[in-house]
Amino acid sequence: MTDPILKIEHVSKRFTRMPGLAERLVGKVTGGGKPVTVHALTDVSLEVSQGEVLGIVGESGCGKSTLGRVVAGIYAPSDGSVTLHDKPVARTHGGNIDKLTTQVQMIHQDPFASLNPRMKVGETLAEGPRYHKIIPARDVQARMRELLEKVGLEGAYADRFPHQFSGGQRQRVAIARALAMEPEVLVLDEAVASLDVSIQAQVLNLFMDLRRDLGLTALFISHDLSVVRHVCDRVAIMYLGRLVELAPADELYADPKHPYTTALFASVPTVGTGKRRFEAIKGEIPSPINPPSGCAFHPRCPLAGPRCRVEVPRLTDAGTARTVACHLNDGGVDAKSEVAA
Amino acid sequence: MTAALDVQGLTTRFATRGDPVTAVNDVSFSVQKGRILGLVGESGSGKSVTGFSVMGLIDAPGEISAGKVLVDGNDLRALSDEHMRKMRGNKVAMVFQDPMMTLNPVLRVGDQMAMAVRVHRKMSKTAALEESRAALEAVGIPSPEERLQAYPHQLSGGMRQRVAIAMALLHSPSVIIADEATTALDVSIQGQILAEVRDLADTTGAAIVWITHDLAVVSSLADDICVMYAGKIVERGTAQQVIDHPRHPYTKGLLDSIPALHEPGKHLPQIPGSTPQLSRLPQGCPFRPRCPRASDICKTVPPADTVDGQTVLCHHPLERT
């Protein structure tokens, strides 16, 4: 593996909601009304090499979107750092971001919400590069046309408004807008999730072409395991704000190590007939406000033991370039005293 | 045997400023007791409008302009509004995509379920609550007594959808229409609910129409599959026929574009273009501009059903394999 360009080091992100006046008044009597903290990310470390596409997979509340936003510099991490070529992606001042790299660009899920309906798409594309003087002003028009063509649209579409495009075309525009900033790293947050299957294939093909032509490095955030396997080199599985498994895509799909990963794969419906029982994961996804003790997955895990209830598993090596956070890979699930020696 | 649900020549139109748009165009299918029919299509294919039409939930500017909807042999379309209201939620029930929109946020789960019971049957509230409790238990909700006391916002998305399914089950309906009922849920929760839906079809004998865009879901859940495109059913057969041996080029294209079936990193076969606007359908076959098998006849003559066990609406269906 070549040297990583993007480093996510021990990143945690907490969101705290202060109680409203009514809650505080009620709290005076009931003893409640305290600030509520959500641990959206807890101690996540990842490295991404030049030209690599890293998939981030998990269910609601696992922190995958928060991670994407921290990497793109939209959120400042509560702890830890995100650096690109050893420079922070965002400079913070008093907890707020005051300067942001243009080198990380984000593509969002819903192209109906992420494009300004009152701006011609050419203007939308030109806004960032013009402001940051990435492209000389006299070249902007030509460059925008070129970008539209690169994402499979016609250059003349620069004069159209978003409502004149279909969903798939809008997502192409959103990709063009990200590329207009000439970024080194793209963060795609569920970028194909809202598209129809036939359109999804078109956009995935476009992404793979662009990746090959431009040598893009990307974080590909998705809940769709089959899409992730198709486009990603390595995959990180997250659960309740923590990284639980990280492995090259082919190895992960062939041989998942973490019980959550295994269960997740088993519960995904696959195309193909023959009356298959769904092997569902038992129970609910716990709330990140009040995560379970020890390993967050233990209440749902078929292999959990006493140790899992008390001790948070650390990430340990599970083969070359693979890590997993599970006691099974770190001395077993029996009570801690037996392992301590 | 009379099918639990038999839809014949259903056509639903919407008046627009221009010509009326035919969202559902001469659609026919039937579902036997205890079977699950997967109704698959992309946005704008008319799959949801088909579901709403069966339920008689089409309002102006929409209008069901032709066809029959037979439930246990009785035509719902011949019923008065008053009679239809008595059928809805009773003989035919529907589960929608977003349970936060279908549950009343200011009523406890138990209260709204008991209300739904007592709309159709005369009984005490205590008895209605007991029926509600049993329904919650049937869909795998742990400690159902406590859930009856909860408000919808206190439940997770998966639990809410289970409540919505339990409400649909209250009157042991002959037919349940589920419109993208697990689309908004996480995969692990979706897996749980699909397993329960399969069990419910087997144990209660309800005929279920499962409307979705997700071929993977129907391929493992449904007994039969209808594929819709531009308001028409273009292919119909058993799940095995449609998934393993698709004969319509559109079905084939959809299946081919699913990443799971291809080597990672390779170009995915894609259907060119995008779904047509219903107000501007091409003459002849609506799929023709995107179809690799199209010929001259497809430009002018709308295809008719080719039936040999598997119905295909195409001039040039793929060979049987």
| CATH class assigned to A4-103+183-340 | alpha beta
Q: How far is the alpha carbon of A200 from chain B, nearest alpha carbon, in Å?
A: 8
Instruction: In whole angstroms, give the CA distance from residue B238 to residue B218.
Output: 11
Residue A216 has pLDDT above 50, yes or no: yes
Is A10 in a helix, a strand, or coil? strand
Q: What integer pLDDT is reported at residue A340 of this predicted model? A: 43
| Residue position matching structure tokens 């004069």 | A159
Cβ neighbours, 10 Å, residue A138: 7
Cβ proximity of B292 and B298 under 8 Å: no
What ipTM describes this predicted complex? 0.81
- CB contact (8 A) between residue B265 and residue A60: no
- CB contact (8 A) between residue A269 and residue B191: yes
Cβ proximity of A324 and A257 under 8 Å: yes
- CB contact (8 A) between residue B190 and residue A198: no
Residues A220-251, buried b or exposed e (16+ Cβ, 10 A)?
bbbbbbbbbbbbbbbbbbbbbbbbbbbbbbeb
Instruction: In whole angstroms, give the CA distance from residue A123 to residue A187.
Output: 22
- CB contact (8 A) between residue A267 and residue B258: no
Handedness of CA A309, A313, A319, A321 (dihedral sign): positive
* Non-local CB neighbours of B119 within 8 Å, separated by 6+ positions: B89
- CB contact (8 A) between residue A226 and residue B258: yes
Mutate to test the interface with A, among B257, B262, B277 (most CBs of A within 10 A): B257
Instruction: In whole angstroms, give the CA distance from residue B188 to residue A286.
Output: 13
Residue of A nearest to B199 (CA): A277
Confidence of residue A199 (pLDDT cuts 50, 70, 90): confident
Residue A5 has pLDDT above 50, yes or no: yes
Q: Which of A45, A47, A56 is nearest to A9 (CA)?
A: A45
Q: What integer pLDDT is reported at residue A276 of this predicted model? A: 58
- Give contacts of B214 with chain A, Cβ < 8 Å: 269
- Give contacts of A204 with chain B, Cβ < 8 Å: 259, 268
Q: What integer pLDDT is reported at residue B260 of this predicted model? A: 84
Q: What integer pLDDT is reported at residue A274 of this predicted model? A: 55
Instruction: In whole angstroms, give the CA distance from residue B133 to residue A84.
Output: 55
Domain coordinates in residue numbering, chain A: 4-103+183-340
Q: Which of B261, B188, B180 is nearest to B214 (CA)?
A: B180
- CB contact (8 A) between residue A197 and residue B261: no
Residue of B nearest to A205 (CA): B267
- CB contact (8 A) between residue B215 and residue A271: yes
- CB contact (8 A) between residue B220 and residue A196: no
Instruction: In whole angstroms, give the CA distance from residue A91 to residue A73.
Output: 9
- Give contacts of A58 with chain B, Cβ < 8 Å: none
Is A139 in a helix, a strand, or coil? helix
Q: How far is the alpha carbon of A226 from chain B, nearest alpha carbon, in Å?
A: 5
- Give contacts of B181 with chain A, Cβ < 8 Å: none
Q: How far is the alpha carbon of B260 from chain A, nearest alpha carbon, in Å?
A: 5
- CB contact (8 A) between residue B265 and residue A231: yes
Q: Which of A52, A112, A196 is nearest to B44 (CA)?
A: A196
Handedness of CA A174, A175, A178, A181 (dihedral sign): negative
Cβ neighbours, 10 Å, residue B126: 8
Instruction: In whole angstroms, give the CA distance from residue A123 to residue A108.
Output: 19
- CB contact (8 A) between residue B195 and residue A278: yes
Instruction: Give A130-177 pLDDT, tens digit per residue.
Output: 988 888 888 888 999 999 998 988 888 999 999 888 888 999 999 999
- CB contact (8 A) between residue A269 and residue B221: yes
| B61 cis-preceded (ω within 30 degrees of 0) | yes
- Give contacts of B244 with chain A, Cβ < 8 Å: 272-273
Residue B127 has pLDDT above 80, yes or no: yes
Q: What integer pLDDT is reported at residue B43 of this predicted model? A: 85
Instruction: Give A294-341 pLDDT, tens digit per residue.
Output: 999 999 999 999 999 999 999 999 888 899 999 999 888 887 554 443
- CB contact (8 A) between residue A272 and residue B219: yes
- Give contacts of A196 with chain B, Cβ < 8 Å: 42-43, 213, 275
H or E stretch at B178: strand B175-179
Please state whether beta strands A4-17 and B62-71 pair in parallel, antiparallel, or not at all (unpaired).
unpaired
Cβ neighbours, 10 Å, residue B78: 11
**Edge-to-edge strand ranges of the sheet holding B5-14:** B21-31, B5-14, B62-71, B74-75
Q: What integer pLDDT is reported at residue B223 of this predicted model? A: 94
Residues B15-30 have a mean pLDDT of: 91
Instruction: Give A275-301 pLDDT, tens digit per residue.
Output: 555 666 778 888 888 889 999 999 999
- Give contacts of A273 with chain B, Cβ < 8 Å: 219-220, 239-240, 243-244
Mean pLDDT of chain A: 88
Cβ proximity of B315 and B303 under 8 Å: yes
- CB contact (8 A) between residue B216 and residue A269: yes
Please state whether beta strands B74-75 and B62-71 pair in parallel, antiparallel, or not at all (unpaired).
antiparallel
Percent of chain A with pLDDT strictly greater than 90 = 57
Mutate to test the interface with B, among A65, A112, A278 (most CBs of B within 10 A): A278
Mutate to test the interface with A, among B45, B48, B188 (most CBs of A within 10 A): B188
Instruction: In whole angstroms, give the CA distance from residue B299 to residue B294.
Output: 8
Q: State which amino acid sits at residue A61.
A: G
* Non-local CB neighbours of A174 within 8 Å, separated by 6+ positions: A107, A108, A111, A114, A115, A191
Query: Cα-atom radius of gyration of chain A, to the nearest Å?
Result: 22
Cβ neighbours, 10 Å, residue B134: 13
Instruction: In whole angstroms, give the CA distance from residue A189 to residue A334.
Output: 38
* Non-local CB neighbours of B222 within 8 Å, separated by 6+ positions: B36, B37, B38, B210, B239
- CB contact (8 A) between residue A249 and residue B264: yes
Instruction: In whole angstroms, give the CA distance from residue B272 to residue A192.
Output: 17
Instruction: In whole angstroms, give the CA distance from residue B49 to residue B231.
Output: 9
- DSSP string of A218-281, one letter each residue: EEEEES-HHHHHHH-SEEEEEETTEEEEEEEHHHHHHS--SHHHHHHHHHS--S--S-PPP-PP
Instruction: In whole angstroms, give the CA distance from residue B191 to residue B205.
Output: 21
- Among the partner-chain residues B217, B220, B270, the one whose CB lies closest to the CB of A201 is B270
Mean pLDDT of chain B: 91
Strands (DSSP E) found in chain A: 4-17, 36-49, 53-57, 79-84, 87-88, 90-93, 96-100, 104-107, 185-189, 217-222, 234-239, 242-248, 316-317, 323-324
Q: State which amino acid sits at residue A245.
A: E
Mutate to test the interface with B, among A203, A205, A267, A290 (most CBs of B within 10 A): A267
- Give contacts of A227 with chain B, Cβ < 8 Å: 259
- CB contact (8 A) between residue B187 and residue A198: no
- CB contact (8 A) between residue A229 and residue B254: no
Q: What integer pLDDT is reported at residue A9 of this predicted model? A: 95
Instruction: In whole angstroms, give the CA distance from residue B58 to residue B176.
Output: 17
Instruction: In whole angstroms, give the CA distance from residue B270 to residue A129.
Output: 32
- CB contact (8 A) between residue B261 and residue A271: yes
- CB contact (8 A) between residue A198 and residue B260: no
Partners of A39 in beta bridges: A14
Instruction: In whole angstroms, give the CA distance from residue B39 to residue B233.
Output: 9
- Phi/psi for B264 (5° steps) reads -55, 145
Instruction: In whole angstroms, give the CA distance from residue A308 to residue A332.
Output: 9
Q: Which of A149, A146, A147, A127 is nearest to A137 (CA)?
A: A127
Residues B303-312 have a mean pLDDT of: 81
Burial of A88 (0-12, 13-18, 19+ CB in 10 A): middle
Residue A41 has pLDDT above 60, yes or no: yes
Q: How far is the alpha carbon of A53 from chain B, nearest alpha carbon, in Å?
A: 11
Mutate to test the interface with B, among A62, A196, A202 (most CBs of B within 10 A): A196
- Phi/psi for B129 (5° steps) reads -65, -35
Q: What integer pLDDT is reported at residue A282 of this predicted model? A: 79
Domains of chain B with bracketed CATH: 5-32+40-82+217-313 (3.40.50.300)
Side-chain-facing half-sphere of A197: CA atoms under 13 Å: 23
Mutate to test the interface with A, among B245, B268, B277, B278 (most CBs of A within 10 A): B268
